[in-house]
Amino acid sequence: MPEILVISGKGGTGKTTLTGAFAHLASNKVVCDLDVDAPDLHLLLRPEPESVTEFYSGSEAVIAPERCEDCGLCAEMCRYDAVGRGPEGPIIDPLKCEGCKVCVHFCPAQAIDFPEKHCGQWFISRTRFGPLVHAQLFPGQENSGRLVTLLRRKAREMAERDGRELILCDGAPGIGCPVISSLTGTDLAVVVTEPTPSGRHDLERVVDLCAHFRIRAAVIINKHDLNPEAAADIETYCRAGGIEVLARLPHDPAATEAMVRGQVVTEYQTDGLAGLVRQAWAGIEALAGLKRAA
């Protein structure tokens, strides 16, 4: 069963706006929001949670002041500068603690505890477009490849159990850990870009990342009319790399107007931008080998 990931490298290119529209257009799928850091897809899909599960990952070191002898060894050994001073003696800054356990292990007084970290929550929800698997990391928490992997696994289990045809994922921005966890083993990466220096620069890094992990990529150029020459340049770059350009979408207030109404753009209108998004989706279905209803 195919899994499609929509990513962008750079934030703000319209990745979530488009994934929302694709969720509307795709039939018989499970949708998965893998941007666990700043998930926005739920603002369009307005999910009703059916289950909430707490997510624990890694551990953090906590000094027990009553056992601490203030020898200073933890501060000396910590490579992350996480040991500071509080009113009762040394104190570990949870924002800096990497969870490496070195201080816990070497403390001569065994004064450091190592509890699991409560990092966030994940949800299985109902939406008007079908089931949604999503999560929210608590602010400041470690951006977790494991949470992304967990969500993908749950989405796949549900899809197989319910006889779905597709897993559609909204990815995280960037090229780091959560994006890597979203990409590996997916069937198609749809990269949303814009004709700006940042958009182009970040597109190239994401394409490199896809190549590194041997994932097929296709591109949508959003807001192409902001800079037609730069958009044409991007097309040349894609063609040279054998990457299909699925669509060139104009910068259109319809996307924001729809969002403000809690709708995806293909619910808000049928022509204009929405018409082009439909065509892009048809291209994606063809690439992913999805059967389309006659």
Contacts of 190 (CB under 8 A, 6+ apart): 4, 5, 6, 7, 18, 217, 218, 219, 220, 246, 284
Closest of 246, 229, 218 to residue 8, by C-alpha? 218
The vertex-166 CA angle with 162 and 169, nearest 5°, equals 115
State which residue, 253 or 289, has the beta carbon closest to another protein.
253
Pairwise CA distance, residues 167 & 186, whole Å? 10
Paired tokens of 184:
């590996």
Q: How far is the CB of 294 from another protein (least distance, A)?
A: 31
State which residue, 79 or 161, has the beta carbon closest to another protein.
79
Residues in the chain: 294
State which residue, 49 or 99, has the beta carbon closest to another protein.
99
Q: How far is the CB of 195 from another protein (least distance, A)?
A: 6
**Beta strand 62-63 pairing with 112-113:** antiparallel
State which residue, 120 or 285, has the beta carbon closest to another protein.
120
Q: How far is the CB of 142 from another protein (least distance, A)?
A: 5
Q: How far is the CB of 155 from another protein (least distance, A)?
A: 15
SS3 88: coil
Radius of gyration of the chain (CA): 22
State which residue, 164 or 223, has the beta carbon closest to another protein.
223
Q: How far is the CB of 66 from another protein (least distance, A)?
A: 25
On whether the CB atoms of residues 245 and 238 are closer than 8 A, the answer is: yes
Q: How far is the CB of 279 from another protein (least distance, A)?
A: 24
State which residue, 40 or 282, has the beta carbon closest to another protein.
40
